[in-house]
Structures are given as C-alpha cells and as structure tokens.
Amino acid sequence: MDSNGDGVGDLAGITSRLDYLQSLGVTAIWISPIYPSPMADFGYDVSDYTGIHPLFGTLEDFDRLVAEASRRNLRVILDYVPNHTSDQHPWFVESISSRENPRRDWYIWRDAKPDGGAPNNWLSHFGGSGWEWDEATNQYYYHAFLKEQPDLNWRNPEVVEAMMNVLRFWLDRGVDGFRVDVMLELIKDAELRDNPPDPRYRDGRGRPYRQLLPLHSADQLEVHEVVRKMRGVLDEYGERVLIGELYIEMDRLMMYYGEDGPECHMPFNFSLVLMRWDARRIAALVDQYEGALPAGAWPNWVLGNHDVPRIAARAGRAQVAVAAMLLLTLRGTPTMYCGDELGMEAVAVPDEAIQDPVGINLGPGFSRDPSRTPMQWDSGPVAGFSTGQPWLPLSADHENANVAMQSEDPDSPLSLYRRLIALRQSEPALMVGSYAGMPAEGDIIAYVREGGGKRFFIVLNLGADDVSFDLPQGSGLGSVVVSTDVDREGTDVFEALEVRGNEGLVIALS
C-alpha cells in the first residue's frame, strides 16, 4: 500500500492497512527489505542495515508501524539480508578502496588464476560468473547474486560481530523476528574449490546457475555455527522467531533446526512452492516431511512468496481455494504471500517494463515481476494501491478481484481465507493437533487432524472431476465446517461423501 502517491508501497501504507490484516486473521507479517538501497535487486542490496529507505519512510514510520501492529496483536518480522551488501555499502566502499584497507577482508577477495581467469567456476544465481574483476586493486570479489551485491566474508569475526549488532538494533526497536535471506550461502568452502557439474542439467532449461551443484558454495557445515549465533542473539530477547530462507533437499533442511543447539524455529519449507500441483506427489511429500522432522521440531508450510510464480499460476485458478485449504489445515505454521488470498494471478508485464534484474539478465520468462504487482484493494483507479502511477502494472482483473469486492462475497477466495484462518486459530486440533494421512487415490488428498478432544477430516480434490470418497471408518456422521463451496457449510455428511471437482472440505467428525 502506497501512502504518498509515488507508486511504491511504504511503511505508512502498511500501517494504514493493519486493520485489514487483522480482519484477515493473520498473526504476523514479514516485510521484504525496507533499508536504504540503490535497489539493484529491490532492496536485497542493502547499503545501510540500520536505516530506512526514504521511499518507504523513516525510522519514526517504522516505530509507528511496530506500535500499531503490536496494539493489534500482530507480530512484525523483518527481512535480514546477511549474505551480501550493496556495492554502495560503506563497508564495501572501503573494502574495494585498497588491498590494505582494514575492511578488505570483510568481503571475499581473491587473485586471478595465472591465466587471468576467475578464482573458481562458481556461478551467480542471476547469470554469469560469480566473480567480478576489480581493475584498481587487481583482484576478483565474489557475488552469489548481482555484481552490485558483493558477498560478506562470514569467516571474519568482525563481520559476524557487526551483523549480530544489526539484529540487536532491530530487536531493540521491537521487531518480533527475522526471515534470513539466503541463509544457506553465508559460509563458503574455505578453499573455494570448484563446484562439480550437475548431471541433471539440460542446456537451455532452467537458470544457467543450475549447471553446477553448489557443493562448495552453499550449505557448508560451518554455517550452522553462524545460525546458532543468530539464534543466541534472538534468545536474549525472549520470544522472537528465526526463519531461514533455505532452498535445499529435505534431509539437509532439517539440519537447520539445529543439531548442536537451537538454530531456526522455522527453516522455510518450500516443497509446496517447488513441486508440481499433483495430489499423489503432494500427499507423499507431506508424509515425507512429517517423517523427516527431528524430535520436537515444529513444521511449517509456504504457499508463495515474491520470488516464485503465484499459486494461481502454479496450480491454476480453479485450485486457489483448495490450495488455501491445504496450507491452512496442514500441521505447522503457514506462510502465505500477500494477494494470494484474492487469488491474484501472474500479471503480464511488457518486456520493456520489466523491473526485476533476473528478468532483465536471464530473459522475461525468469522475471519475478508478475508476482510482485500492486495489491488490489478496491475497484477504484490503481486498485486503491496508490494515487500515482504504480511501479508495476496492475492485473487486468483488479476491478473484480480486490479486497473490497471479495469481502462482500462469501464465495470469494478472500472470504474462504478468513473462514479457514479463523477456524485454525480457534481449533487446537488444527493449530497444534496431530496429523494422519489417509489412503486416497487419483486427485484426492485426505487427512485427519486431531487434538483438544476434536477430530477434523480434510479432503481435497485437486482435479476437475467429482469423486466419491468414504469418511474414515467408524466416523458415522460428519458436519462440514468449511468448504470451498460456501453453500455446503453446515451440512451433514454420512459415510459416503461426494467431493466435487476442485473442492475442498473440512469436516468435523463426531
């Protein structure tokens, strides 16, 4: 939400919409980076970790947001971007100034190979080599993302100290936790060995980054020590949350809960974001995830974020409601992406209007802009997002798909989200109860959540055809508490249940 008409969302804008967030029922918000930044990667290139970019407001606006959120029992989680700074950050400006500068070793500098080539074969996520040559000081520096995002050297204790103080700065200001950007890559192989080729990579498919397995550039064992330190700082402040952005195989992901002491409360579980929308695969994956969790670890599920295509684009428009029900009835903390509660779609952004550096470097097909378009508040001009020209185009359907209209319609995605969140918040069975997968075939996913003396049976149809399905044996009568088809709510069901195409049901069992 843009409060000052410059076309970009800002802190005062968020504050003005806290009542909406409260009415939606969410209990915490994660805000993508709001720090001073040249915006080469939309704030993920930070030039001052303890300030606010004027585009987004001031520290006073931030304090007001935290105070207003806390009045509504809403937690505020910041994006912490520790892997790299902006090349305009004073630390890097010093580091690049000379080899003798005390901050030289705050970043990763290496000599060229004898043939003048880069120190190793590591690739940038955003295209090309991960190394950039600095003519003036005759060395390369490493950047896992853009060359404007040099990687910090987390093997240097001064960097660790400085970055822990950044956490303290925001914790002192009252934030409730952090989503840690690119947690996986903070520590690199001490010898910077070459990454091996990935035999699964096929030319022209996916990002060129995928040519190599990031064996030595990511997920090094020593990173866990760093994460334990971050957690230690958070724990000094009591109830705070540490969330890790970790795109990684499930068994490795689990290590970020912490094996030698607490690490993340929530290592982000991106399986739903990455997989094909297929009932058998999802059902198997939920079982696999539940089975892989270490003792005492709390699960979490992510349905969308600013880096991936929207759920309406991944699963299809017809599945938006079913996806919401899956996210909000699985066991574990759900993370949803703003606008997904309206079923917002991937918005076509003309090539010449592309903002995302990934889309510019790798091609429009890789652009993240279609998921980042303005939130659709009402049917007014610019969907109520701004009084000016928005930084990205609006979706063509904003006149129908918006908060104001969907609030009036009990059959809308937004109304369904509200009912599901309210149910989840009020029923211990859904919030903290057990999960048991039920046998199912074809397009059906079914499971039972149990706790607080209650049992809920959830059945989801990921296909377009009606299917009949039996309630778990011996359940007798059930009652539909929430359905993707609001007319079905409050009705009783007996042993054999008709599940319509693209339908999901939460059924209270007697």
Q: Where does this chain bind ligand GLC (CB under 6 A)?
A: 41, 44, 81, 145, 181-182, 245, 306-307
What does 155-211 look like in DSSP terms, one character per residue?
TSHHHHHHHHHHHHHHHHTT--EEEETTGGGSS--TT-PPPPB-TT--TTSS-GGGG
In the complex, minimum distance from the CB of residue 79 to ligand GLC, in angstroms, rounded to a whole number: 8
Convert 451-475 to b/e letters by CB count within 10 Å (16 or more is b): beeebbbbbbbbbeeebebebbeeb
* Of 182 and 440, CB closest to ligand GLC: 182
Nearest residue (beta carbon) to ligand GLC:
44
The residue among 275, 340, 283, 333 whose CA lies nearest residue 306 is 340
Task: Give me the catalytic one of 2, 45, 132, 181.
Answer: 181
* Of 147 and 306, CB closest to ligand GLC: 306
In the complex, minimum distance from the CB of residue 356 to ligand GLC, in angstroms, rounded to a whole number: 8
The total of other beta-carbon atoms located within 10 Å of residue 205's CB is 8
Q: Determine the Cα–Cα distance for residues 21 and 341; give it in Å rounded to an integer.
A: 11
The total of other beta-carbon atoms located within 10 Å of residue 60's CB is 11
Task: Mark whether 181 is an active-site residue.
Answer: yes
> 3-state DSSP call for residue 368?
coil
Q: Determine the Cα–Cα distance for residues 131 and 147; give it in Å rounded to an integer.
A: 8
* Of 238 and 365, CB closest to ligand GLC: 365
Strand partners, 28: 75
DSSP H or E segment with residue 463: none
* Of 39 and 344, CB closest to ligand GLC: 39
* Of 194 and 307, CB closest to ligand GLC: 307
DSSP H or E segment with residue 499: strand 496-499
> 3-state DSSP call for residue 506?
strand
Q: Determine the Cα–Cα distance for residues 443 and 449; give it in Å rounded to an integer.
A: 20
In the complex, minimum distance from the CB of residue 181 to ligand GLC, in angstroms, rounded to a whole number: 5
At 282, which amino acid appears?
A: I
In the complex, minimum distance from the CB of residue 128 to ligand GLC, in angstroms, rounded to a whole number: 15
Q: Determine the Cα–Cα distance for residues 222 and 383; give it in Å rounded to an integer.
A: 47
* Of 2 and 245, CB closest to ligand GLC: 245
Q: Determine the Cα–Cα distance for residues 150 and 162; give it in Å rounded to an integer.
A: 16
Task: Give me the catalytic one of 158, 236, 259, 470.
Answer: 236
* Of 44 and 178, CB closest to ligand GLC: 44
Catalytic amino acids? Answer: 181, 236
